[in-house]
Amino acid sequence: MNLKFINASCLVLISSLLLNCQAIKRDSEVTRLDGQQWKLVSIKHRPVNNNGNAYLEFSTKLEVQGKAFCNSIKGEYELMGKDQLTFSDLVSTKMYCEGVMNLENEMITNLQNVKRYSIKNGMLYLHSTDGLLLAFKK
C-alpha cells in the first residue's frame, strides 16, 4: 500500500471522529423550553427576590403557564425560526398581594413584549427588540 494513501485515510478518519464528537456535544447542550420549570431571577437586569414564586412552564402544546409572584398566569406561545418567541392571550388571576404587585405587573408586561429567546448554561433569556427583559433559571 501507498504510505500517502494511508496517511490521507487516517486524516479523514480522525477528522470524521472529531466532527462527530462536536455534534454529540452540541446536541447534549440543547435545552428545550418545555419540560422545565423556569424560575424568574431578574427583570431588565435587576435581580428579583423570587423564592420560587415567579416561574414559567412551557408545554409541547404551545401553552405556557406559571405564576407571577402572586397570581397564576397562562397563555400561548409561538416559536418561529431558531430563536424567535412570542406570547399571546396571556391571562392571570386578579388577587391583590401586598408588596409584589409592581413586580408582577412588570413581569406580565415584559412577557407581552418578548420577541426572541436564548438558552445558555441553564438560563432562559427573554428579549424584546430593544434588549433583555427577563431571565430565568432551571
Q: Which of 72, 76, 74, 73 is nearest to 60 (CA)?
A: 76
Give yes or no: residues 19 and 72 share one domain: no
Rounded to 10 degrees, the C-alpha dihedral 122/123/126/131 comes to -130
State the Cα angle at 45 between 25 and 128, rounded to 5°. Answer: 75
Q: pLDDT grade, residue 89 (50/70/90)?
A: very high
* Number of structural domains in the chain: 2
Give the range of the structural domain holding residue 80, as residue numbers without chain letter: 37-137
Give yes or no: residues 113 and 54 share one domain: yes
Give yes or no: residues 16 and 68 share one domain: no
Give yes or no: residues 84 and 17 share one domain: no
Give yes or no: residues 8 and 75 share one domain: no
Q: pLDDT grade, residue 4 (50/70/90)?
A: low
Please state the rounded mean pLDDT for residues 19-42.
Answer: 66
State pLDDT tens for residues 94-128. Answer: 999 999 999 999 999 999 999 999 999 999 999 99
| 56 neighbors 64 (Cβ within 8 angstroms) | yes
Percent of the chain at pLDDT > 90 equals: 70
pLDDT at residue 53 is higher than 50 = yes
pLDDT at residue 47 is higher than 90 = yes
Give yes or no: residues 25 and 58 share one domain: no
Give yes or no: residues 48 and 83 share one domain: yes
Give yes or no: residues 4 and 70 share one domain: no
Instruction: Quote the pTM value.
Output: 0.77
- CATH number of the domain bearing residue 60: 2.40.128.270
Give yes or no: residues 7 and 41 share one domain: no
- Grid-cell match 420560587, residue found: 52
Give yes or no: residues 42 and 26 share one domain: no
